[in-house]
Structures are given as C-alpha cells and as structure tokens.
Structure 1
Amino acid sequence: MRIATDAAGVALWSWNVDTDEIVLDERAHGLWGVDVEAVTFEDLSARIHPEDMDRVRAAFAATREVLGAYEIDFRIMHGAEVRWVSARGRGDDQGIVDRMMFGVFLDVTERKMAEEAREMIANEMAHRVKNLFAIASALTGISARSTATTAEMRRDLTQRLAALSRAHDLVRPILSQPKEAAVLGDLLAVLLGAYDEEGAIGARIRIRVPELLVGEASATTLALVVHELATNSIKYGSLSKESGRVEVTCDTRDNEVVVTWIETGGPPIAASNKPSGFGSQLVTRSVSSQLGGTITFDWPAEGVVVTLRVGKARLGA
C-alpha cells in the first residue's frame, strides 16, 4: 500500500473527531511543511491561505454531515510558495474506526495552474473580441470625420483596419515566422497608426522616443501593452473625442527605460469609470512577469498618464 500511495502521490491523514488531533504520514508532512508527528486543525490552519481560511473551516466542520465522498480544494502557504491541496474523504462518519476518520491529501498545484492558464486565455479572448467591436466602431467614426465621400471613407477605413491587423500581428506573432529586434519608434508607429486622424502618426498622436532597439522577446509584450492603452483611449479616453491627443515619450536613465503615455483633451473620467477590468490586469501582469518592470496609472484632470519602467537590458532582450 505504501508503494501504491507513493506512486500515486497520495498523502494520508487520520483525524480524531474528539480530540481534533490529526496524524499525517511522511508525504503529508512534506506537503504541509510541518515536522511534528501529530497536529490539530488549528496548527494546519496557520498554513492555509488567508483568502481560503473561512471556506475551509466551514467545509471541514460540515464533513461529518456530508453523505458519501467529499472533496475540498484550497491553497496553503509553504514558505513563500503557494500550493493547491485537495483534501478527500468520506462524510457521515463512514469508515470511522475508534473515533478516527481517514482521508487523503493530493497536491493539485499543477492542475490548478493549468486551469488558471486556460481561464486566463478564455478571458483574454473574450476581452479582445469585445475590444474589436469597440475599435471598429471608433475607427468608423474617425474615418467619417476625416473623409468627404463614401469612396474615401471606404479606402480610409480599409487602410486603418489593415494597420490594425499589422498591429495585431505584433501582439500575437506567428510562431513560424522569424523575429528580429525592432526600433522603438517604428514599433509604436505601426501600433498606433490606425488610431490617428489621418491614418498615420502625426495629427493626434505624437511619438518622441530615442533610437532604441526592442528585442524580439520584449516586442510582443510591449505591443500588447500599447495596444491595450490605445484601445482604452479610443473607448474612454482622449482618442474618443475629436479634440483629444496622445503623446508617447521615452527617456533612458542609467540602466532603466521609462516610457510615458500622456493623454490630453479627452472626456473627464470619474473615479468609478477608470478602466480597471481584465485588460488592466493583463497589462500589469504582462509587464511584471514578462518584462520584469512596473507600470503605473495616474489620473490628473488633463487625462491619464501611464508610466512604464523596464530595465534597458531586459527591453533589448
């Protein structure tokens, strides 16, 4: 039985329902990071993730009343590491022996991470589809203002959509195609060209950046960030108004690159209407995990100011 449980990665536990004492096998000790032979639920509670504590307490208190098998998934803290544990057993005192109930712990961290990754992808896809409708509507309005005939509008809108497609290729590149470093100014021009009044940078969008190379590993993440900022601007910010403007600047300070996105002339944004949904979370997570940098949002009366900080070596990688 020991060989079988080890092969399956199963950790065993027993629980005295009168004394609340929990006895763990060696694998369970390693999973929880405890080194004493017997513990109580209170001892283990100190290692349960704070956000899951109340739920786990209530679930374990109810296990004796549960008919048949039960399964409780929750997070525990193992030092600075977060692990997912699945506790499984049988309720309604089934299989109780001398006031001892038995069950197992499984480390389900990899499964939970895979589920979170799938959920992230599904949310990102839904977010992008929703944004595409908003962008198409906004670009149609820009084309209508900057053209005099339906033929001109059709040509202008087609060019803008083609530019948007090129920007999307930067956000989601084709894996089979070779990649190379890009000049920061050229990268920004491709990403933002579709949103300017004349379908090219210069009228409502200004870019003032030094000659700086963005490596292939960083270009996709930077493109995603800029694409998200432009989408938010055309939906809520300065690019949603004819009078609005966007300026993108860049400074290099020692070993750090600071890119600043400044919006002016747009509608006032109340605190309750500041973008804070999945897109903002995606941008913050991407900058932190993939660029090793930081991104901050400030909301002065003139319009949003976004500051992206990343190491020069990391940006060029």
Structure 2
Amino acid sequence: MTTTASDLKPLLWEAKNLARAVEAAGVTLWSWNVDTDALAMDDRAYDLWGIARGIDVQFEDLSAHIHPADRDRVRAAFTATRSLIGAYEIDFRIMIGDELKWISARGQGDDAGIVQRVMFGVFLDVTGRKQAEEGRELLAGEMSHRVKNLLAIATGLTAITSRSTTTSREMADELTLRLTALGRAHDLVRPVPGQTEAASALLGDLLTVLLAPYDDLGAFSGRIRVSVPRMRVGEQATTTLALVVHELATNSLKHGALSVDTGILDVSCSAHDDAVTVVWTESGGPEVTPPSGDRYGYGSKLVERSMSGQLKGSIVYNWAPEGVVATLRMNPDRLAV
C-alpha cells in the first residue's frame, strides 16, 4: 500500500510527532507570564541555560546567565515585544561557567497568540552561526590589514631602492627583485594550494625569505643579521610565524630601523625545553616613541592573537629610544606542528 501526503498530514499534529520535530530541530520551548514574570521551559531549555531542570524561574533568574553587555538590551527587548507587530527575534550571549553561548529568542509580538496573559516562544542555540559570522568578519579585517600593509611595504621598498640605485634601469631591476622576494614572503603568510615542505621548513630559511626584500645582500649579511640554531618549523607554525615576522618587518619599514639606510636589525634565537625565544632588536633608526592611538592597533592585536592562540606563546615589546626590541616566546611543541 502506497502512503500519500494526505495520509501523512494528520500525523503532523500528533503531540508525540510535534515533540520529535521540535527535538530534531534543536528548538527549546518557553512561555512567559507577562504579569508575574514567571517563565516555564522544557527540559532542553533548562539544559541550554545551565539551570537545574524543573525549578521555578523568572526572567531575572535567566538574566544572571546573560552576558552583562547584553543584559539590559535583552530585558528591554522582551518588554517591548508586546508592542511589536508580527514575529520578533533577538540574539544575545549567555555565560555557562566559562563557556559562552549565543541564543536566539523568537516569538510573536503585539500579544498575538497570548493565552491567559501568557506568551509563547522558542530558544535556539545559534553559537555555531555566530562563531562563523565572527570568523568571516575577522578574516575580512585581516585581509584589509594585510592589503594596507603590502601597499605600505611597496612604497617603502621603492624609497629604499631609489636611494641605492643611480639609473632608472637599475631601480626597475632592483625593485622587481625586492617585490618578487616580497611575493615569496607573502606566500608563507597565505600558503598556496599543494605547498609542501620547502625552504621555509627551517627557521633560518623562513627568516631568509621573509627578510630578503629589505636587505641588498640577503638576511645573513648586510644590515639584517640573523643568528638562529638549526631548527625545523612545522607547516602550521610556519604560516603563523611568517605572519608575525611580516608584521614586525612592516612596522620597522614604516617607523623603525628598516625605514632608514643606517638602521640595523638583529634577530637571534635560543631554544630550551620549555620555550623557544626569538629576540628582534632594531638599532640605528629614528628615535623610538611608544605607540599611541591606533598606530599599531589592528596589527598588534593580530600578532598577539597569533602568538597566544596558535603558538601558545607571547610577545613583549621594549620601546627603547635607540630601537625597539620585541621578544617572542613560543611553545616548542606548537612550533613543530
């Protein structure tokens, strides 16, 4: 016997099947007495909010779990729902211990569907969607920052090249070499598909590629001096460390030792069981003043996030007048990944 749509339709309204559909969709249910402020929720809603099942709750009990930055906004929104026409939706953050979740509360405004002074609605856990949105915004911000950095670097490299050449032909050739080297360095920040271990697998090789655009004779001579032990860097750590060094070099080219012919950059490294330490030391450049405002705003946050997040380490700056010193500490295990 063939089951038709008309045969299935009555099944939709059976209570047990509605409950199955609600559970499958991840929907949790609530009702709110607009006079007494009492809330009733299903068991999954209690679990979502981190509250013991079955106890009597009011809105203020839930408020204790709402992120402080969202609490007043959510309370005002719930109060205002009675005057809204049509469906409403509000997204907000809650804290369950140290865990942050995003919840979407949805219902019908303008007292539509109200029964005996009780309004009805649902809670949805939208943490995954919000994290994806934040990830996209972060990526867009990083890409914008990198593009601005690349333009600043190109301008700085042009100025450096003009001071070290005498003819337009020489300048064109040298600038092309520098920009080509910059392109190789940028590939380390954003690896190309299918990229495998190559020169960047060793810490010394990684620094050579990244710093080559800024020195006529390469990273191991001239005004950029590198002294590092023979150490292999994993593929993921290579991308992260390249981004950090790229940011430091950009700032030096704009404001520090690499912005003038007399500037010198020393990069040294020591490795121990508990940490790998890289020290970035600039000298011979303009007098250093500690950054203020947003001069290093986004870039500084990007570097700190990369060091603490991916490399489980830290970066500390010493804004000495004769030249900035940046000390990078990294977890050896994370550096090998």
Match of 2:81 in 1: 63
Match of 1:241 in 2: 260
Shift of 1:74: 0.9
Match of 1:292 in 2: 312
TM-score normalised to structure 1 length: 0.93
Task: Name the aligned partner's letter for residue 222 of structure 2.
Answer: A
Shift of 1:131: 1.3
Shift of 1:178: 2.1
Compare 168-177 and 237-246 and name the one that shifted more: 237-246
Task: Name the aligned partner's letter for residue 68 of structure 2.
Answer: P
Q: Which residue, 215, 239, 253 being the options, matches 2:234?
A: 215
Q: Which residue, 85, 90, 96 being the options, matches 2:103?
A: 85
8 Å CA contact 2:29–2:122 kept in 1: the answer is yes
**1:93 partner SS:** coil
CA distance, structure 2, for counterparts of residue 239 and residue 125 of structure 1: 24
1:204-262, Cα deviation, whole Å (9 max, x unpaired): 32212122221223111111110111112212333223333322111123331011112
Q: Say yes or no: does 1:118 pair with 2:136.
A: yes
Shift of 1:95: 1.6
Compare 139-148 and 35-44 and name the one that shifted more: 35-44
8 Å CA contact 1:243–1:266 kept in 2: the answer is no
CA distance, structure 2, for counterparts of residue 274 and residue 109 of structure 1: 30
**2:102 partner SS:** strand
Instruction: Identify unmatched segments of 5+ residues in structure 1.
Output: none
Instruction: Identify unmatched segments of 5+ residues in structure 2.
Output: 1-17
Match of 2:325 in 1: 305
CA distance, structure 2, for counterparts of residue 177 and residue 144 of structure 1: 34
Alignment of 1:1-317 (within 5 A): 1-35=18-52, 36-179=54-197, 182-196=201-215, 198=216, 200-201=218-219, 202-264=221-283, 265-273=285-293, 275-317=295-337
Aligned length: 316
Task: Name the aligned partner's letter for residue 71 of structure 1.
Answer: E
- What is the root-mean-square deviation of aligned Cα atoms in Å? 1.8
CA distance, structure 2, for counterparts of residue 271 and residue 178 of structure 1: 38
8 Å CA contact 1:296–1:307 kept in 2: the answer is yes
8 Å CA contact 1:251–1:258 kept in 2: the answer is yes
Task: Name the aligned partner's letter for residue 27 of structure 2.
Answer: V
CA distance, structure 2, for counterparts of residue 43 and residue 32 of structure 1: 10
Match of 2:13 in 1: none
Cα 1:199–1:158 change in 2 (3 A) is farther
CA distance, structure 1, for counterparts of residue 323 and residue 69 of structure 2: 35
1:151-173, Cα deviation, whole Å (9 max, x unpaired): 11111101100100111111111
TM-score normalised to structure 2 length: 0.88
Compare 48-57 and 14-23 and name the one that shifted more: 48-57
8 Å CA contact 1:232–1:275 kept in 2: the answer is no
Cα 1:260–1:55 change in 2 (3 A) is farther
**2:288 partner SS:** coil
Task: Name the aligned partner's letter for residue 94 of structure 1.
Answer: A
